Amino acid sequence: MTDAPGWLDRFVDSLPERGWFQFLSRYVVVPYWAWRDPKPKLPGGPRPAAQPGENLQCMMNLIMPLKDPSPVGRAKAALAIAQNVDAIFDGLDNVGTVHTARFLLLDGNLCMISVYDGDFSNYIRDFIVTIGSVFDEIMDLVVGGEELKPTAQNVDKFIAWVHAHDLFQAPDFPTDLFTLQDEAKGVGPGGPPHELRSLPRALILQLHANPNISLGGGYRAYPGFSAAQVRAKFGVGW
Amino acid sequence: MPEPDIADTLVAFLNADGIPGKRPVHAWGIGASGVFVPSPVAGSFCIADHFQEKLPEGYPKKPQVVSVTVRFSNGSGSRQNDGAAGPHDGWSDVRGMATRFHLGDGSATDLIAMSLPEFFTPTPETFLDFARDALPRPFRRETPWQKLRDMLHLTLPLPDPYPGQVSRPDDGAMDYADRNRSAQLAVFQAASIGAPVSYVRATYHAVHTFFVIAPDGTRRGVRFIWQPIAGALNIDLRDPAQQDKVTRPYLQQELRDRLAKGPARFSLMMMIGETGDDFDDSTRPWPPHRVRVMMGTLTLDTVIDCEHLSFNPLLLTRGIEPSGDPILAVREWAYQKSSQVRGGVPCPFSQR
């Protein structure tokens, strides 16, 4: 049988691409659902897991808003990093659990993107011990940073701040978002399943609460191996 | 032993609308032959013959090349039961890749995989419930007002029917998933899986856990994945040049044309599970952060007829053992029963 779409079908199908409908969605539909079915902001960083592989090559996506996002303010941030390159490299080698780390200037944010092994709090703690002075300089430049100085004497407070500014990592399997949202609301795993067709709404409302997120746990060329194992394999000495 | 009973029930149910002599699911398929060459490291993870780069004393001293037979298939292409018989190559659907490795001693071992990374239910009993709920139901295009409602509710839109499509399993599968959390991931991903441009441009997952035995006796829980070396690629029905694929069977001819020009290759990747991973539940894929081992390369070069061949996911060989996954266990019996019903080449287990 033929079930060809009529003109009204085609018009409705085209709505998501029309500017006025996108405006309506952005300023009316999404805010309405965010009011009716609010999602808590989900915490950043990797989630606790018993499996060793989940505790290796963990990602940190630290987004630090600059007090002065103008070109001059961003230049100050670039200078703060550039003047401390030796200290940063020394610190990374001393921490020993870091695969990669880099700084980005992204719009009005200074970002630190790193891949590390082991527990998040220990990672930050090790960093503060080794390059606390660099972070003190960075804290001068970012919103809310002054209260954390000197970072070496405010370690737990600094860890909490970093955790709050680390991006939420969306689950590798999309339907796990329901579980994370339930957990954040204190709803246990025994609750009734969510309607599957509501998954796009769950994601949209989560993006309303967490505008910036990491999409999944990322790709790894050699998953399941620590930086120490890789160095040992290549025989590079530490 | 409960498996034969539930397997009989499953096969009888799935065959209810089938055609005698044809598979009840994955009915449309095409065969190909080629070789599998194990990687240099495969033998250090598994003692199975086809993973040995060189065979033991008495065999030729050269890199081993294992003959393989592969059957690619469409998960739900209809032969008669929805009024629109055909393989429906261009419809969004799960594809299958069943591989038989012909071993040096004349025996064989199978690896059965599909383009969906997980299964729908954790047990045979729940799968029977799922299959009953997911029977294709008659459907029509959503009205414009229903679509508008979906948009305003920020919910997943129901796909429009393909030309000639009058029934689909999605509605029942969605209903089941709304009541059963374990089915949600597979149903969600199956609903949006799309159609590959070629059978050899899809990734295939052997969703169950197997245990592989290393030369030192280490026993590892693993899952296998066939990755196309040409890369995974779906058709894009927004492209006018590809829109005819939704009504025209193309996958079998595409494979014939492709292999006439040159071989197609897959990498066999093996994911190693960790303590804490679920080895017996194929509804839960493992995170992509597990150690991966490249076990070998499959090269297909010839289209063959293997429609009467019966594969079985538990046709294993020394060095590979099944996990306790109850779906894997029942598939042994279900495949065997299905083979008997359609008169396929007797399943290797039929001598039991």
**10-residue mean pLDDT series, chain A (238 residues):** 79 95 97 96 91 92 97 96 93 92 96 94 88 91 94 93 95 96 89 93 97 92 94 90
3-state class of B66 per DSSP?
A: strand
E strand or H helix at B268: strand B264-272
Q: Percentages helix, strand, coil for chain B, rounded to the nearest 5?
A: 30, 25, 45
Residues A85-107: tens digit of each pLDDT: 999 999 999 999 999 999 999 99
Contact B54, B62 (CB under 8 A): yes
Reading the block at residue B259, the tokens are: 């292999």
Global pTM value:
0.92
Buried b / exposed e over A205-215, threshold 16 CB at 10 Å, is bbeebbeebbe
Residue A93 placed within a domain: yes
Q: A217, B287: Cβ pair inside 8 Å?
A: yes
CA distance A79 to chain B (A): 36
Tokens 């429009």 correspond to: B160
Taking one residue from A and the other from B, the number of pairs with CB-CB distance under 8 angstroms is 111
Confidence class for position B277, pLDDT limits 50, 70, 90: very high
Nearest residue on chain B to A25, alpha-carbon basis: B152
Q: What is the DSSP string of A8-74?
A: HHHHHHHGGGSHHHHHHIIIIIHHHHHHHS--PPPPPBPPP-SSGGGGSSEEEEEEEEBS--SHHHH
Specify the pLDDT at position B84: 58
- Backbone CA torsion sign across B113, B116, B118, B119: negative
What's the count of helices (H) and strands (E) in chain A, helices before strands? 10, 5
A16, B179: Cβ pair inside 8 Å?
Answer: no
What per-residue confidence (pLDDT) applies to B352?
46
pLDDT, one tens digit per residue, over B331-345 is 888 887 777 777 766
Helix (H, G, I), strand (E, B) or coil at B55: coil
User: CB distance from A53 to chain B under 8 Å?
Assistant: yes
Closest CA to B186 of B328, B282, B330, B90: B282
What is the structure's pLDDT at B77? 59
In chain A, what residues touch B171 (CB-CB under 8 Å)? none
Domain at A78, CATH number? 3.30.70.100
Look at residue B279 in the predicted model and tell me its pLDDT. 96
Q: Which residue in B41, B271, B289 has the most chain A C-beta atoms within 10 A of its own C-beta, making it the best mutation to test that interface?
A: B289
User: What are the beta bridge partners of residue A61?
Assistant: A113
Percent residues over pLDDT 70 in chain A: 99
Paired with B225 in beta bridges are: B205, B269
Interface probe for B, chosen from A12, A24, A206 (most Cβ of B below 10 Å), is A12
- Residue B111: per-residue pLDDT: 98
- A84: domain range? 52-167
Mutant choice from A11, A32, A51, A198 vs B, greatest count of B C-beta within 10 A: A51
Q: Which residues of chain B have a CB within 8 Å of the CB of A193?
A: 177-181, 184
Of A51, A56, A217, the CB nearest to B288: A217
N-to-C CA span, chain A:
71
Q: Do A193 and B180 touch (CB under 8 A)?
A: yes
User: Region B145-169: what's the mean pLDDT?
Assistant: 90
Question: Residue A220 and residue A217: Cα distance in Å, rounded?
Answer: 9
pLDDT at B102 over 70: yes
Q: Which residues pair with A169 in a beta bridge?
A: A214
CA–CA gap between residue B123 and residue B326 (Å, rounded): 6
pLDDT of residue B1: 47
If residue B311 lies in a helix (H) or strand (E), which one and from where to where? none
Here the tokens at position B19 are 């055609």
pLDDT at B348: 57
The answer to whether residue A97 is domain-embedded is: yes
Q: What are the residues of chain B with a beta carbon less than 8 Å away from any beta carbon of chain A?
A: 140-141, 144, 147-148, 150-156, 160-161, 163-164, 166, 174, 177-181, 184-185, 187-189, 272, 274-277, 285, 287-292
The 8-class DSSP code of residue B154 comes to T
Total domains in the fold of chain A = 1
Is A190 in the B-facing interface, judged by CB distances under 8 Å?
A: no
Q: Does residue A50 belong to the interface with chain B, where contact is any CB pair within 8 Å? A: yes
Tell whether A89 is covered by a domain: yes
For the complex shown, is ipTM > 0.95? no
Matching residue, tokens 């009011």: A35
| The pLDDT value given to residue B61 | 60
pLDDT at A132: 85
Domain contains A26:
no
User: Is B275 in Cβ contact with A51 (below 8 Å)?
Assistant: yes
- Cβ-in-10-Å burial (0-12, 13-18, 19+) of B286 comes to buried
Phi-psi region of B193 (alpha: psi -120 to 50; beta: other; left: phi over 0): alpha
**B142: closest chain A residue by CA:** A9
Shortest CA gap B32–chain A (Å): 31
Whether A183 maps to a domain, the answer reads no
Q: Over 60: is that where the pLDDT of B2 sits?
A: no
C-alpha R_g of chain B: 20
pLDDT higher than threshold 70 for residue B4? no
Scanning A212-231 for CB atoms below 8 A from B yields 216-217, 219-220, 223-225
Better-predicted residue by pLDDT, A237 or B236:
B236
Mean pLDDT computed over B282-292: 94
pLDDT digits (tens, 9 = 90+) for B30-77: 999 999 999 999 999 999 999 998 766 666 566 789 999 999 999 885
Q: Give the whole-angstrom CA distance, residue A48 versus residue A180.
A: 12
Residues of chain A with C-beta less than 8 angstroms from the C-beta of B185: 173-176
Residue A6 domain-assigned (yes or no):
no
Terminus-to-terminus CA distance in chain B, angstroms? 14
- Numbers of helices and strands, H then E, in chain B: 8, 11
Identify the closest residue of chain A to B158 by CA–CA distance. A197
How confident is the model at residue B20, as a pLDDT?
Answer: 63
Q: Please give the Cα distance from B75 to B27 (Å, whole number).
A: 7
Q: Hey, what CATH topology would domain B3-124+197-351 get?
A: Catalase HpII,  Chain A, domain 1 (2.40.180)
Percent of chain B residues past pLDDT 90, beyond the cut:
66
